[in-house]
Amino acid sequence: MSTPKAKILVVDDELGMREGMRRILEMQNLQVDTADNGTQGVEMGVAYEYDLYFIDLKMPDLDGTEVLRSIKLAYPDAICIVATAFASIDSAVTTTQLGAYRYIPKPFDPDELVHIVKIALERRELILQTRRLQEERQKRMIEISREQSRLRTIISALDDGILVINQQGEIVLFNKAFLSLLELKQTIAVGEPFQTVLPQDMSKQIEALLSGNEQFKSIQQEIIIHPPAEKVVMANFTPIIGNDGTRIGLVSVIRDITALKKIDVLRSQFVNMAAHELKAPLSAVQGYLELIVDKALGQSTDLYDHYLTRSLDRTKALVSLINDLLNISRMEAGTLRREITSLDIQNLIEQTLSSFDNELKQHDLTIKTEFENNLHVLADQHEMQRLFNHLIGNAIKYNVQNGSIAISTNRDGHYVKIAIQDTGIGMTPEEKARLFEDFFRAKNEYTRTITGTGLGLTIVKKIVDAYSGMIEVESEFEKGSTFAVFLPASE
């Protein structure tokens, strides 16, 4: 008997996208139906349970989130993939919370589409297999683990954690991902009571579902493995109901949502940083310009020139902040253009130092250099300048008055080692541990008057990583810091 073709519904208001996906998927021996607007998509998607749904996010009559909501309401197990040319963090979080299986930006190539469909249909097969098992089994679900080796193989291959518990509270089935996501190290045996294995919060939810009267209710719970958001999982608990309406067990699906939680944290950090780092200099510039426009400074041209210069300095700082944000965005998106050439490290550092002449004089800093001759790296010149601008700029900003900076270069095996040592305020061990986090800035009595975005060392780390290099940091609070960068040498 031949296996029936999987049925897929494509909801998209772009004719080219609909027909393009139809041709690609039909070549994979799949049956494809299409809807050219959100309303039609809801009608077709609710009238028949498709194996897979592709939903465009932006449509003129009914947007993709409403289509997704309607389909998931009718078929909670539906595998829905949201595709959009207007990808954003908010839409990704919203659709994921509504139950979307995947969120992918347009355009995507045929190979990527085929791969996504293959993985999604494997998940669909697991859902259908689980349904068949639920229909076949109304008694103790421990028999599933003994008789369904094929299901165990499928479950073991999933990235999501799976846990099945029978009505007696005994663990029937679980996969390796379940143990890994919850970081359970003890040996677990089939038939063991779940209370002896699971975290207390998770056990309470399961007890409520197994003993409560609301048989068809599902519960979602965030579980923090490593606070504050180093590792967070989402646990979905759903009772399994037999044909006679009695509860025969419970299934839990656990998914790692750490990336989404970190996006939320980063977004919050960015908003806070932008509110301070953008508003403060803009307000200052506005105040300076109002004084100048109102001729409130008398007749002294020197005073007007002074405030114009300060306005210019503030706008330069804003441009620097925006450039930092753009550079990080390009690095993470992989769109940064690099022109790789052989660069003389000594020349790069000397050029960078010359651009800080004014700052060095203002802080009365002494520069000591020790360069090994003829050291070259293969890299993009602009990127290397950004690297040394941030490192030397920090050595100046966080130094003490009348301090010193020592810069040395030497060959170290296959690498060129660049060490930048300052006599500045240094860092505590706790500050050092978070040094390369986005938007992190040490907060103490010495840094209150030092401006910055908390992105400079993030950019440094990303540049070093991009060239397969290494960076080491030694620091002692109130004594100073040493940054050592290792870049592959140009032979």
Task: Tell me the three state secondary structure of residue 80.
Answer: strand
* Contact assessment for residue 253 and residue 234, using Cβ atoms and an 8 Å cutoff: no
Instruction: Say what the pTM is.
Output: 0.44
What percent of the chain is modeled with pLDDT above 90? 28
* Contact assessment for residue 489 and residue 377, using Cβ atoms and an 8 Å cutoff: yes
* Contact assessment for residue 441 and residue 398, using Cβ atoms and an 8 Å cutoff: no
Most confident of 10-24, 185-199, 233-247: 10-24
Q: Strand runs (DSSP E) across 306-414, as ranges?
A: 340-344, 366-371, 376-380, 404-412
Please count the other Cβ atoms lying within 10 Å of the Cβ belonging to residue 233.
Answer: 22
Q: pLDDT confidence of 1, banded at 50, 70, 90?
A: very low
**What are the tokens at 73?**
């309401």
Please count the other Cβ atoms lying within 10 Å of the Cβ belonging to residue 468.
Answer: 10
Strands 404-412 vs 415-422: parallel, antiparallel or unpaired: antiparallel
- What is the structure's pLDDT at 213? 58
Q: pLDDT confidence of 366, banded at 50, 70, 90?
A: very high
Closest Cα partner for 158 from 113, 202, 125?
A: 125
Give me the residue label for tokens 């950004």. Answer: 386
Task: State yes or no: pLDDT of 241 exceeds 70.
Answer: yes
Q: Is 25 left (phi over 0), alpha (psi -120 to 50) or beta?
A: alpha
* Contact assessment for residue 46 and residue 71, using Cβ atoms and an 8 Å cutoff: yes
Judge residue 198's burial from the number of C-beta atoms within 10 Å of its C-beta, 0-12 exposed, 13-18 middle, 19 or more buried.
Answer: buried
- What is the structure's pLDDT at 159? 82
Whether omega for the bond prior to residue 488 falls within 30 degrees of 0, making it cis, is: no
Most confident of 93-102, 349-358, 453-462: 349-358
Task: State yes or no: pLDDT of 216 exceeds 70.
Answer: no
Closest Cα partner for 380 from 333, 440, 439, 330?
A: 330
Domains recognised in the chain with CATH numbers = 7-127 (3.40.50.2300), 138-258 (3.30.450.20), 278-336 (1.10.287.130), 337-491 (3.30.565.10)
Average pLDDT score over the chain = 83
- What is the structure's pLDDT at 436? 82
Judge residue 372's burial from the number of C-beta atoms within 10 Å of its C-beta, 0-12 exposed, 13-18 middle, 19 or more buried.
Answer: middle
Q: Is 258 left (phi over 0), alpha (psi -120 to 50) or beta?
A: alpha
Task: Between 17 and 439, name the one with better pLDDT.
Answer: 17
- The pLDDT tens digits for 108-164 are 888 888 999 999 999 899 888 888 877 776 555 555 555 556 666 777 777 888 888
- What is the structure's pLDDT at 95? 84
Task: Tell me the three state secondary structure of residue 297.
Answer: coil
Most confident of 95-104, 446-455, 461-470: 461-470
- The pLDDT tens digits for 414-424 are 999 999 999 99
* Contact assessment for residue 9 and residue 54, using Cβ atoms and an 8 Å cutoff: yes
3-state helix, strand, coil in the chain (%, to 5): 45, 25, 30
CA gap 99, 408 in Å, rounded: 55
The DSSP 8-state label assigned to residue 191 in this structure reads: T
